[in-house]
Amino acid sequence: MAVKVAGRAASAGPARHGGQPEPAEFIQLLTPEGERVDHPDYPLDISADEIRALYRDLVLIRRIDFEAIALQRQGELGIWASLLGQEAAQVGSGRALLPTDMAFPTYREHGVAWCRGLDPTKLLELFRGVSHGGWDPKAHNFHLYTIVIGSQTLHATGYAMGIQRDGAVGEDGEAVIAYFGDGATSQGDVNEAFIWASVANAPIVFFCQNNQWAISEPLERQSRVPLYLRAHGFGFPGVRVDGNDVLACLAVTRKAMQAAREGQGPTLIEAFTYRMGAHTTTDDPTRYRLAAELETWKLKDPVERVKAYLVRTNSADEKFFAALDAEAAQVGARIRKSCLEMPDPDPRTMFENVYAEPNALLESERDQYLSYLDSFEEDAR
């Protein structure tokens, strides 16, 4: 699979942060103004219906994210990691997956969760502190959120090695996608995953959302070379895509996943995007980045450009947008309601699922603690 690597980009020196300037080479199929462009390596056959569906995904996931931030500000969630600005990277790659593909997210991939059919309420449990992850990974082929940076890339690689051993590599095969950010590329585990995946030729796509910031540290503190070029050092292809372009992300991920499925081994996709919000709700980006940078990226908004396209091509009318607004409001209200109604876990559950086999010590601790709780007069908690 040929990878378009611009010579200039390769020798461009330290990666610049804040999208200043825009990288010389990345795959783009929809400009920020909403115009379709073609790329010879990524022909995209997509209908108006499908684009409207993608737009709906983008709008709804942005609304869910917004509602979650509000809930955190109202004390209903302990923390929330916003995906504002990264909707296209997540929806584009998420919609490129087949149901049998397995996804390993970090903790920000709410857009991918949406595409996998996961009820967004389930995502809230972790952030509300009700559980460490509210869904069964096998039900949606979407692993739990992993908070240790980069750790999941090894799990994903091992899973892909398991696919190989199951003989499930082929045209109708299965593949794995591992999500991580620009900061994670510095972690040993991510680099080890690259080693293992390449040496084993595992059916895995490494999808890096380069949102330019790892909390307060810009990309230039993580790498001297553009991230997608790192793959070459490990011996597999890397490609950079406009992470704010849902069509490009869709096309590039589809192609890479198919290559993995068919046994061509791993690909690194660097989705060049921007973290419009804070790292999490407890972060204050004004302490380390300039407002002007944010302004620049607003002009490249991932959701806006799709709307512009739909309007420009008369692919959607006022009725469509109004109905979508209404649906978004309903989704937001539903998220809010589910969050507020979420019950606290029973203390008993703290002692469950630590081991597969019965454990006498744990059982006696639980029994003692429960009777200790019972020894208090009123139900204070």
Partner 1 sequence: MTRLALSKALNEGLRKALENDPKVLIMGEDVGKLGGVFRVTDGLQKDFGEARVVDTPLAESGIIGTAIGLALRGYRPVCEIQFDGFVFPAFDQITTQLAKMRFRSRGNLSLPVVVRIPCGGGIGAVEHHSESPEALFTHTAGLRVVACGDPADAYEMIQLSISCDDPVIFFEPKRRYWDRAEVDTAGGLATALPLSKAKTVASGTDVTVLCYGPMVRTCVAAAVAAGKEGRSLEVIDLRSLSPLDTGTIFESVRRTGRCVVAHEAPVTGGLGAEIAARVTEECFYQIEAPVLRVGGFSTPYPPSRLEEHYLPDLDRVLDAVDRTFNY
Partner 2 sequence: MSELRQFKLPDVGEGLTEADIVKWHVQPGDKVTINQVIVEIETAKAVVELPCPYEGVVAALLVPEGTTADVGTAIISVEVGAQASVPQAGPQPLAPRGSTSADLVPPPPAEAGESGSGPGEGQPEPGEGGQDTAGPRLHGSPARGQAAEEDQERQSVLVGYGVKPGSTTRRPRKPAAPAAPADLGRTDLLAKPPVRKLAKDLGIDLTRLSGTGPSGSITRDDVQSAARGEVPASGLRATEPVPPARDTVLAQVAPVAAVAREERIPIRGVRKHTADAMVGSAFSAPHVTEFLQIDISETMAATARLRTLPEFRDVRVSPLLLVARALIVAIARHPVINSSWDEKAQEIVVKHYVNLGIAAATERGLIVPNIRDAHSLSFAGLARALAELAGTARAGRCTPADLRGGTITITNVGIFGVDAGTPILSPGEAAILAFGRVKDAPWVHQGQLAVRKVTTLGLSFDHRIVDGDLGSAVLRDVGAMLEDPLRMLAWT
- Cα distances (Å, whole numbers) of residue 246 to 83, 90, 203: 14, 8, 23
| Residue 59 makes contact with partner 2 by CB under 8 A | yes
Nearest Cα to Cα of residue 152 among 184, 196, 105: 105
Residue 160 partner contact from partner 1, partner 2, none using kind-dependent CB cut-offs of 5 to 8 Å: partner 1
Sign of CA dihedral 115, 104, 122, 278: negative
H-type helices in 11-83, by residue range? Answer: 48-73
Residues 138-167, interacting with partner 1 (CB under 8 A): 138, 143-144, 146, 148, 151, 153-166
Nearer to partner 1, 234 or 272 (CB): 234
Smallest gap from Cβ 117 to partner 2, in A, equals 23
Residues 64-94: b if buried by 16+ CB within 10 A, e if exposed:
bbbbbbebbeeebbeebbbbbbbbbbbbbbb
Give the C-alpha separation, 211 to 182, whole Å.
7
313 with 48: CB under 8 angstroms?
yes
| Residue 137 makes contact with partner 1 by CB under 8 A | yes
| Residue 73 makes contact with partner 2 by CB under 8 A | yes
| Residue 330 makes contact with partner 2 by CB under 8 A | yes
| Residue 361 makes contact with partner 1 by CB under 8 A | yes
| 145 counts as catalytic | no
- Cα distances (Å, whole numbers) of residue 218 to 17, 19, 21, 76, 332: 6, 11, 14, 31, 32
Q: Which string of x and - marks every residue 310-339 that binds partner 1 (by CB under 8 A)?
A: ------------------------------
As a whole number of Å, the CA-based R_g of the chain is: 22
Residue 280: strand, helix, or coil: coil
Question: Exactly one of 288, 305, 334, 369 is catalytic; which is it?
Answer: 288
Range in contact with partner 1 (rule: CB under 8 A) among 213-221, 304-312, 335-343, 346-354: 346-354
| 16 counts as catalytic | no
340 with 61: CB under 8 angstroms?
no
Choosing from 61, 91, 178, 276, the residue that interacts with partner 2 (CB under 8 A) is 276
Residues 97-136, interacting with partner 1 (CB under 8 A): 131-133, 136
235 with 145: CB under 8 angstroms?
no
| Residue 323 makes contact with partner 2 by CB under 8 A | no
Give the C-alpha separation, 28 to 109, whole Å.
22
Omega before 237 within 30 of 0, i.e. cis: no
| Residue 291 makes contact with partner 1 by CB under 8 A | no
Choosing from 11, 47, 314, 353, the residue that interacts with partner 1 (CB under 8 A) is 353
Smallest gap from Cβ 185 to partner 1, in A, equals 15
| 336 counts as catalytic | no
Question: Exactly one of 275, 305, 312, 372 is catalytic; which is it?
Answer: 275
Q: Which string of x and - marks every residue 183-202 that binds partner 1 (by CB under 8 A)?
A: -----xx--xx-xx--x---
Residues 335-346: b if buried by 16+ CB within 10 A, e if exposed:
bbeebeebeeee
For residue 32, the number of C-alpha atoms closer than 13 Å in the C-beta half-sphere is 11
Q: Which string of x and - marks every residue 77-106 that binds partner 2 (by CB under 8 A)?
A: -xx--x-x----------------------
Residues 6 or more apart whose CB falls under 8 angstroms from that of 283 comprise 215, 216
| Residue 235 makes contact with partner 1 by CB under 8 A | no
- Positions annotated as catalytic residues are 275, 279, 288
Provide the binding-site residues for partner 1, judged by CB under 8 A. 131-133, 136-138, 143-144, 146, 148, 151, 153-166, 188-189, 192-193, 195-196, 199, 349, 352-357, 359-361
Provide the binding-site residues for partner 2, judged by CB under 8 A. 59, 62-63, 66-67, 69-70, 72-76, 78-79, 82, 84, 129, 276-278, 280-288, 290-291, 294-295, 298-299, 301, 303-304, 307-308, 311, 321, 324-326, 328-330, 332-333, 336-337, 374-378, 380
